[in-house]
Amino acid sequence: MNRKSTATPRGGPETDVQPPRLDAPVPDDGHGPEGTAAERVGPRAAGLPWWANPRVGLVVVIAVLVLGFSSARPAFLDVELTLVPLQRDIAVFAVVGLAQLAALSLGHMNLAVGRMAALAAFSAGLCYDRFGAPLVVGLVVALVVGALVGALAGGIITATGVNSFVVTLALDFGLLGVVALLYDRFAGGVAFSVRPPGLDALRSDTFSDYCAGSVCGPPVPLLVPFALVALLAVGLFFGRTRQGREILMTGSSPRAARASGIPVGRRIVTAHALSGLLAGLAGFMLATANGAFSASIGESFLLPSFLAPVLGGTLLAGGAVSAFGTVLGATLTSVIQKGLNLLQFEADALQIFIGVVLVVALSLDRIRQVLAERRGVRP
Amino acid sequence: MSTVLDEDMGAGAGQGAGASRRTALSLHRTELVLALVAVAGFGVLAATTGGNILQPGTMQAVLQFLAVPIVVGLAQMVVLSVGQMNLSVGALTGLCAMAAASLMADSGLTPWLALPAALLVGALAGLVNGTLVVLTRINGFIVTLATMSVISGLRFSINGTGTYQDYSPGLVRLGRADVLGLPVVFLVAVATAVLVWFFFARCVAGRMLLASGGNPFAARLSGISNDRSVVLAHLLSGLLAAVAGVLVVALSGSVNASVGDDLLLPSFAAPIIGGVVLTGGVVSVLGTCLAAFIVRLVDVAQAQYGINPRWVDLVVGAVVLGAVLVSQRRGKGSS
Amino acid sequence: MRVRCSQLVKVFPGVRALDGVDLDLRPGTVHALLGENGAGKSTLIKVLTGVHRADGGTVTLGEDGETRTVAFSRPLDAQAAGIGVVHQERNLVPSFSVAENIALQALPRRAGVVDRAAVRDLARRCLAQLDLDLDVDQPVAELSVAHMQLVEIAKALATDSQVLLLDEPTASLTADEADRLYAVVRRLREQGHVVVLVTHKLEEVFAIADVVTVLRDGRSVAGSVPLATLTRGDVVDLMVGRAHTELELSERSVDRAGTPALELRGVSTSVGHRGIDLAVHRGEIVGLYGLVGAGRSELVRALLGLDSVTGGEVLVDGDAVTIRSVGDALRRHRIGYVTENRKEEGVFLTQNLARNVAVTVWDRLARFGLVRDRDEKDLLATYRDRLGIRLSGPDQLAGQLSGGNQQKISLAKWLAADCSVLVVDEPTVGIDVRTKAAFHELIVELADQGLAILLITSDLPEMVTLADRVAVMHERRITGELLNSHHYTSMSAQVIRLVHGESAVDDPPAA
């Protein structure tokens, strides 16, 4: 205890204003404070000029890509061929990204995001198959199962103090086995074949299929509102509610959170439960989009789940999130994917492109921040 | 006034140092426990299958398919030693395997040239990872997430989804050969593990990596460049991933671009079960190898008993969490 | 090697941390560096070890014949020049052996492979120089704190350090361990090293130091004076000076008749406190004084649920309560805690100011479960005006504020939560003199408004200025309680006696 109590340097003015490097991603090698401060400054950093906001860059890049793709292949603007499936992709991967964002808000990770989605989708499928449940009941069950598994992850992390990376890694392995076993046991190994009424409409309809008189809706898939609701709810939760804000404060500094009366353990459980809930929603949406509740749901979720929030300006360090940026990040990757598809690029070029975009986007981000700081934002 | 340099340098070092101290204490016991579990598991398996797995053929298969998990686990362990992660390990293994196969099949190189070239590819990719981490100061997790995507793409760009076969009958013969009942690929993996052990235990460069990972603050005051440690760790990780790729080429006789897809999460499982901490500063080559062996035993048990293969993942998940909990509990007890 | 500093100046925005410091370190001496918190010891050490660059003055190395003036730009330069610092365990790699830690700066090698025999030899040589018998193959992680410190000294010797700075070396050592450390220090002196001892403990200084330098407000008020010429009283006078009594606060009267707002009866804690009795009344400032490591902050942390209270009674407004967490203390008992670890616990450095202040009151600000930014900003504006916080806007990050303003933010969140008891832990450490005075007025004002304040400080003048009563803690026990006469000389003398475990009664207050 003695050492703890003397950990603050006594005496001498403390004029250094750089935050401590809680995540310490790189052992610092004497590059001074500016590099490290930039790392931790969230998107709400005071006084950063507008062009230092990563979302602005994203919007510009997306706009340029859309222009480029549509001039190279006018089919890119084809509603049925491109825009409707594109919106469906964006909707699913935005929700996947939001699920990861919920864990990132704490500075944690959820490596089991795909498998939580799979388990949730299984639960929904089981309800439809065994109990002939209506569509909405399956959705609610999926959300609840996702939230419970997420809460379990959070509970283990809180109770044991083991790194979230390790816990969710173990959980991922475990769920991988569980999900496959469950499908073996209840669905004969592959997928549930029964579809509740409404599922097909949800899968393939857009609002333009529904008309009041001669006025039809826009060509937006019925799945999109799910993502919009998730976006609004997550944005509101982290931006406006006590719980959400307390989670961000916990991510920013767990010690300060504890010393400020925030129930840190409960907030960790809440954040992971939210992550699981959104993963469950994504699992349900993908199963709906695919038209099948199968064990392969969520297999491809892990990487996009990090891509979307990180591109959107959410830090791994915790304490700052951008729900809207996550949607932009998901949009960017989906646009690249669709565009390159149309240009008949192979899957390999696509992956290279996305990887390079990520490196360049993040590097530019750093450069922007350093430039912004040079212009005297810091006191 | 006890920590004069506190706020200026290496904040966060204290926390990491505390964690790695506990682990250092419990590491030997973790290795001991793992060894006991491995021996006991093997014994039970041998007894309950009526000695089936002791048959030369079965035993060889067990060890042959242990080679790649060991080396991939080591590739991840090397970056964990400085508190970094390398998500590109699996993709890089695949890329190097494809590169080696392509050089032999398409370019007609002998294995003597193709395999070193593949190792070079791995080392270069690792160097790029490390340099990007140091230059951009972006979290290594994200950097390697991005390079993983790029490397995955490159992997497919070599031959699309096509498969290489018959690239070098001699090499494949060697890959399936054995010396005194021990498969050659397994011996290569063991030799690699011994080299990695020697590097961390005896070489100045290896000790510097561990110093950087264990207490960056102390390392810096002792004139060690933490940046160089990060770059070196990523480079070695890439090189080891390439070794794994070469082993795949020698072992399987046919490779395609999907090699490495299922290696990423196991690459974390082995060192984590083996007692390596994510914060850096502590490695255990023996623990990583034993953990890979235990995971392999679970596989073998599944095959021998004809259990649903899905149980394997469940058990591995439980082992990962259990191993970390046990070593943490013990660490607490001894500090 | 002789090291001489003359007229060192180090300026930080808004404060002259060093304002003309002279220091003369002669070989073969133990040099004590004394001063109250904020006097500039830290900064001086940072300049000497290359962490900060001096803005003025010179550092010269060497004897009269051949001297050279140096300016270290990084810690390695200072090390190369033979100046080593010893931290508490901070500078060791835990998983490495004793030998390897000692030799880490220049690992003996052969063709890239560590020459383990040479490493051991070097380590044994350094340990022998200190007359220490340690197993050089043992991992440092298995050593006690005391041994780690000795290993650090050996490590400094391995690079041929002629000057060793020991920073508060005995803060976490037992008496026996401290004795052994002193033996090592004496041995180093005999070998012709300079040992600079930075400490708060006067008995330690008088036990082993030869020469003393006392800093006050960034100046050396006694520059390298032989200790033999000074008495303990002289040293205390030099340290505290008279300048600090200038803040004249109006006489305050406290009604101690009613039920105390916070009372401890025979409290013991999981961190070693036994039988603590303490009471704070409404409108009263009770000072809790003691040396670093006496267990004051630990008591408060246990009280607030950050550690646990294991026995005795805690009463809030006369009712026995159990406090499980800070949230509990805040929401159920209206007790706030302004922590001493401002950067780690007091503020969220990477969050904006509005959130930093509103963190305790979001449930109150929320309407239909939603918090509006405008309400937060209004709250911040209120406390900006009330506490005089200098900020550029509500979206500024807390990490961008100066230490004093951060401290005000840390205080503001508890005021916003409308606490009736406030524990303030080392509120003015590292804060410049002007802000400090403003802070003092603020604390008194809060007490006048009826808050019960428990003030923990190691700054004696601050204690004498602010407190109505002073309780002194020594080794996790309350060794005495005094009514504050606000008369500096007599109060400081009494308090310091209590701090060192002596009775205060034989020198009645002069006031």
Confidence check: pLDDT of B7 > 70: no
d(CA B105, CA B249): 12
Q: Which residues of C touch A10 (CB under 8 A)?
A: 37-38, 42, 292, 426, 429-430, 458
Mean pLDDT of B236-253: 92
Using CA coordinates, name the residue in chain C closest to A376: C400
Are C93 and B210 a contacting pair at CB < 8 A? yes
Residues C216 and C302 in one domain: no
The alpha carbon of residue C450 is apart from the nearest alpha carbon of chain B, in Å, by 34
Q: What is the pLDDT of residue C52?
A: 83
- Name the residue among B201, B233, B193, B218 with its Cα closest to residue B82: B233
For residue C216, the SS3 value is strand
From start to end of B39-148, where are the E strands?
A: none
Residue appearing with tokens 């034989």: C506
Phi and psi of C289, rounded to 5°?
A: -110, 155
Do residues C213 and C32 lie in contact, with contact meaning Cβ atoms separated by under 8 Å?
Answer: yes
Residues C356 and C224 in one domain: no
Residues 6+ apart with CB under 8 A from A362: A310, B136, B138, B142, B143, B146
Residue B16 lies in a domain: no
Residue C255 lies in a domain: no
Do residues B254 and B171 lie in contact, with contact meaning Cβ atoms separated by under 8 Å?
Answer: no
Confidence check: pLDDT of A23 > 60: no
**Is the four-CA dihedral C445, C448, C451, C454 of positive or negative sign?**
positive
Are A240 and C371 a contacting pair at CB < 8 A? yes
Are C403 and A13 a contacting pair at CB < 8 A? yes
d(CA C491, CA C17): 28
Phi and psi of A86, rounded to 5°?
A: -60, -45
Residue C250 lies in a domain: no
Are A177 and B310 a contacting pair at CB < 8 A? yes
Tokens read off for C269? 């804690």
Which of A39, A260, A315 to mutate to test binding with chain C, by most C CBs within 10 Å of its CB?
Answer: A260
The alpha carbon of residue B149 is apart from the nearest alpha carbon of chain A, in Å, by 5
Residue C511 lies in a domain: no
Q: What is the pLDDT of residue B261?
A: 81
Residues C411 and C423 in one domain: no
Centre a 10 Å sphere on the Cβ of residue C175 and count the other Cβ atoms it contains.
Answer: 7
Q: What is the pLDDT of residue A26?
A: 34
C68 forms beta bridges with C61
d(CA B96, CA B103): 10
**Is the four-CA dihedral A157, A160, A165, A168 of positive or negative sign?**
negative
Specify the length of chain C in residues: 511
For residue A217, the SS3 value is coil
Using CA coordinates, name the residue in chain B closest to C167: B2
Are A246 and C46 a contacting pair at CB < 8 A? no
Do residues C143 and C98 lie in contact, with contact meaning Cβ atoms separated by under 8 Å?
Answer: yes
Residue B36 lies in a domain: no
Whether residue A260 lies within 8 A of chain C, CB to CB, comes out as yes
Q: Which residues of C touch A19 (CB under 8 A)?
A: 349-350, 397, 399
Q: What is the pLDDT of residue B210?
A: 93
In the stretch 96-125 of chain A, residues with CB closer than 8 A to chain B read 111
Do residues B120 and B238 lie in contact, with contact meaning Cβ atoms separated by under 8 Å?
Answer: no
Do residues A285 and A142 lie in contact, with contact meaning Cβ atoms separated by under 8 Å?
Answer: no
Q: What is the pLDDT of residue C99?
A: 92
Full residue range of the structural domain in which residue B221 is found: 61-325
Whether residue A200 lies within 8 A of chain B, CB to CB, comes out as no
Residue C388 lies in a domain: yes
Look at residues C244, C272, C290 and tell me which one is the last residue of a structural domain.
Answer: C244
Residue type present at position A349: A
d(CA C445, CA C405): 18
Whether residue A37 lies within 8 A of chain C, CB to CB, comes out as yes
- The fold adopted by the segment(s) A59-202+213-364 is ABC transporter involved in vitamin B12 uptake, BtuC (1.10.3470)
Do residues C8 and C18 lie in contact, with contact meaning Cβ atoms separated by under 8 Å?
Answer: yes
Q: Which residues of A touch C362 (CB under 8 A)?
A: 242, 245-246
Q: Which residues of B touch A169 (CB under 8 A)?
A: 265, 268-269, 272, 320
Sort residue C508 into left (φ over 0), alpha (ψ -120 to 50) or beta.
beta
Kindly give the confidence (pLDDT) of every residue in chain C, 511 residues in length, as a single tens digit, with 9 standing for 90 and above: 788 888 888 887 666 788 888 888 888 999 998 876 667 787 888 888 887 888 888 888 877 667 788 888 877 788 888 888 886 556 888 888 999 999 988 888 888 898 989 999 999 988 888 888 888 898 888 888 788 888 888 888 888 888 989 887 876 677 777 888 888 889 889 988 899 988 777 778 888 899 999 888 788 888 788 888 887 777 777 776 654 444 566 667 777 888 999 999 999 998 889 999 999 999 999 999 887 678 888 999 999 988 889 989 999 999 999 999 999 999 899 999 999 888 888 899 888 899 999 999 998 888 888 888 889 999 999 998 888 888 888 888 888 787 788 888 999 999 998 899 999 998 887 676 667 778 888 899 899 999 999 999 877 778 888 899 999 988 888 888 888 888 777 888 888 778 766 654 444 444 3
Residue B189 lies in a domain: yes
Alpha-carbon radius of gyration of chain C: 25
Confidence check: pLDDT of A377 > 50: no
Residues C293 and C436 in one domain: yes
Residues C412 and C458 in one domain: no
Residue appearing with tokens 């001063």: C35
Q: What is the pLDDT of residue C502?
A: 60
- Name the residue among B74, B98, B92, B165 with its Cα closest to residue B129: B92
Q: Tell me the CA end-to-end span of chain C in Å, nearest whole number.
A: 49
Are A177 and B311 a contacting pair at CB < 8 A? yes
Q: E strand or H helix at C276, and its extent?
A: strand C276-280
Q: What is the pLDDT of residues A287-322, one digit of tens each?
A: 998 888 888 888 888 888 988 888 887 877 788 888
Do residues B80 and B87 lie in contact, with contact meaning Cβ atoms separated by under 8 Å?
Answer: no
d(CA B234, CA B129): 6
Whether residue B287 lies within 8 A of chain C, CB to CB, comes out as no
**What is the percentage of chain B residues whose pLDDT exceeds 90?**
33
Q: What is the pLDDT of residues A104-114, one digit of tens each?
A: 999 899 999 99
**C-alpha distances in angstroms, C164 versus C25, C76, C154, C236?**
11, 14, 10, 25
Look at residues C418, C449, C484 and tell me which one is the last residue of a structural domain.
Answer: C418
Full residue range of the structural domain in which residue C486 is found: 260-334+419-504
Are C93 and B5 a contacting pair at CB < 8 A? no
Tokens read off for A104? 């990132």
Using CA coordinates, name the residue in chain B closest to C155: B222
d(CA B144, CA B130): 9
From start to end of chain B, where are the E strands?
A: 163-165, 178-179, 182-183, 254-256
Confidence check: pLDDT of A33 > 80: no
Give chain C's domain count: 3
Confidence check: pLDDT of A39 > 80: no
Using CA coordinates, name the residue in chain A closest to C75: A30
Which of B8, B26, B222 to mutate to test binding with chain C, by most C CBs within 10 Å of its CB?
Answer: B222
Mean pLDDT of A233-247: 93
d(CA C309, CA C313): 9
Residue C450 lies in a domain: yes
C336 forms beta bridges with C422
Mean pLDDT of B151-177: 83
d(CA A127, CA C172): 62
Q: Which residues of C touch A36 (CB under 8 A)?
A: none
Q: Which residues of B touch A35 (CB under 8 A)?
A: 137
Are A10 and C39 a contacting pair at CB < 8 A? no
Q: E strand or H helix at B296, and its extent?
A: helix B285-305
Residue C327 lies in a domain: yes
Using CA coordinates, name the residue in chain C closest to B205: C112
Residue type present at position B60: Q
Are B1 and C42 a contacting pair at CB < 8 A? yes
Confidence check: pLDDT of A4 > 70: no
C285 forms beta bridges with C453
List of chains touching B (3+ CB pairs within 8 A):
A, C
Residues C310 and C423 in one domain: yes
**C-alpha distances in angstroms, A282 versus A119, B62, B201?**
11, 39, 47
Confidence check: pLDDT of B231 > 90: yes
Domain harbouring C162, CATH code: 3.40.50.300
Are A246 and C362 a contacting pair at CB < 8 A? yes
The alpha carbon of residue C187 is apart from the nearest alpha carbon of chain A, in Å, by 26
Domain harbouring B270, CATH code: 1.10.3470
Specify the length of chain B in residues: 335
Q: What is the pLDDT of residue B192?
A: 96
Residues C24 and C135 in one domain: yes
What is the separation of C-alpha C251 from the centre of its chain, rounded to a whole number of angstroms?
30
Do residues B157 and A352 lie in contact, with contact meaning Cβ atoms separated by under 8 Å?
Answer: yes
CA torsion angle for C255, C259, C261, C267 (degrees, to 10)?
A: 120
Whether residue A45 lies within 8 A of chain C, CB to CB, comes out as yes
**C-alpha distances in angstroms, A283 versus A229, B103, B288?**
16, 41, 34
Q: Which residues of A touch B325 (CB under 8 A)?
A: 160, 162
Residues 6+ apart with CB under 8 A from B186: B63, B64, B66, B67
Residue C65 gets which letter from DSSP?
Answer: S
Q: Tell me the CA end-to-end span of chain B in Å, nearest whole number.
A: 25
Residues C182 and C110 in one domain: yes
Residue C104 lies in a domain: yes
Whether residue A239 lies within 8 A of chain B, CB to CB, comes out as no
Q: What is the interface size between B and C, counted as CB pairs within 8 Å?
A: 118
d(CA C430, CA C289): 18
Whether residue C181 lies within 8 A of chain A, CB to CB, comes out as no
Give residue limits of the domains in chain A: 59-202+213-364
Q: E strand or H helix at B250, and its extent?
A: helix B226-252
C427 forms beta bridges with none
List of chains touching C (3+ CB pairs within 8 A):
A, B
Give chain B's domain count: 1
**Is the four-CA dihedral A364, A370, A373, A378 of positive or negative sign?**
positive
Of A40, A236, A261, the CB nearest to C327: A261
- Name the residue among C49, C178, C217, C489 with its Cα closest to residue A11: C217
Q: Which residues of B touch C112 (CB under 8 A)?
A: 203-205
Helix residue ranges, H only, C75-167: 75-80, 98-103, 116-129, 145-158
Residues C394 and C311 in one domain: no
**C-alpha distances in angstroms, B7 versus A305, B1, B19, C48, C292?**
35, 12, 20, 16, 19
B159-177 CB burial, b ≥16 within 10 A, e <16 = beeeebeebbeebbeebbe
Mean pLDDT of B313-328: 77
d(CA C167, CA C33): 10
The order of strands in the sheet holding C3-12 is: C15-25, C3-12, C56-61, C68-70
Q: What is the pLDDT of residue B188?
A: 93
Residues C126 and C142 in one domain: yes
Give the model's confidence band at B137: pLDDT under 50 very low, under 70 low, under 90 confident, else very high: confident
Residue A319's Cβ-count burial label (10 Å; 0-12, 13-18, 19+) is buried
- Name the residue among C116, C45, C115 with its Cα closest to residue C84: C45
For residue A92, the number of C-alpha atoms closer than 13 Å in the C-beta half-sphere is 24
Q: What is the pLDDT of residues A183-210, one digit of tens each?
A: 888 887 778 877 787 888 788 777 878 8
Q: Which residues of A touch C431 (CB under 8 A)?
A: 13
What pTM was estimated for this model as a whole? Answer: 0.82
Q: What is the pLDDT of residues B58-82, one digit of tens each?
A: 888 888 889 999 999 999 999 999 9
Residues C88 and C123 in one domain: yes
Look at residues C399, C418, C437 and tell me which one is the last residue of a structural domain.
Answer: C418
Residues C97 and C187 in one domain: yes
Residue C86 lies in a domain: yes
Mean pLDDT of A315-341: 87
